[in-house]
Amino acid sequence: MMCRFTWWEDRAGFLSLFDPAESVDEWAGTAIIADVGPGGRRHVYVVARSCTSAAGRLVRAIVHDVTGLEPTPRFDTHAVALRRIPTREGHAVGLTDVASWLVHDWIAIDDTPLYRWRHQDPEIHWEDMESVARCRAALLAGAESIGCTIRVRFSEHDQWATVRAEWTMLSRADRLQAVFDITWISK
């Protein structure tokens, strides 16, 4: 769902739904969805609620198109500029909400197997989970950047692929945000 949204009225508030440390369990506001149709974008009203399930924290939402009912918010040039950052082959760049560890926006992604990351979270090899946890802890403790080499796959039938994951802090205001840079190393 997140990959289609190009603007949020209150992105930090929405992201807090994914953070198990937050007491927020509902959010309502407007957003913009990229549309392949003639208008190029749709203005929507979103009502979302988080709950806990056997699989962990789950967020459900109802989205209603209000494009013809409310004026569409102003064009966000920063968001569009970030999405058009050129990347080298074998790279993907996204934004991570550090507290919830949710990659909530893919800024640029090429046509490698990393493209699947845009719609599906990969499985991280169990031996590499501690490295990822150390990276997150370091960012929460004040590190400006950190990285690790990990193995990922998108299904149990896939081979493990090695990637270099690097996080660089973007903002410590409101909610901690980091740029997430993935480099495909090998399969």
What pLDDT was estimated at residue 69? 87
Q: How far apart are CA 109 and CA 57, in angstroms?
A: 27
Q: Residue 76: what are its φ and ψ, rounded to 5°?
A: -95, 95
Averaged over successive runs of 10 residues, the pLDDT of the chain (187 residues) comes to: 77 84 86 76 90 81 89 69 74 88 77 75 94 96 97 92 94 86 85
What pLDDT was estimated at residue 39? 66
What pLDDT was estimated at residue 149? 98
Contact indicator for 32, 43 with CB cutoff of 8 Å: yes
Q: What is the dihedral of CA 110, 123, 55, 28, to 10 degrees?
A: -20
What pLDDT was estimated at residue 77? 67
Q: Is the pTM of this model over 0.75?
A: no
The beta-strand segments (E) located in 66-159 are: 91-97, 102-109, 123-124, 145-153
Residue 46, by phi and psi: left (phi above 0), alpha (psi -120 to 50) or beta?
beta
Residue type at position 63: V
What pLDDT was estimated at residue 113? 74
How many beta carbons lie within 10 A of that of residue 101, not counting itself?
17
What pLDDT was estimated at residue 76? 64
Structural domains of the chain in order of their starting residue, each with its CATH number: 2-65 (no CATH), 85-186 (3.30.450.20)
Q: Residue 140: what are its φ and ψ, rounded to 5°?
A: -65, -30
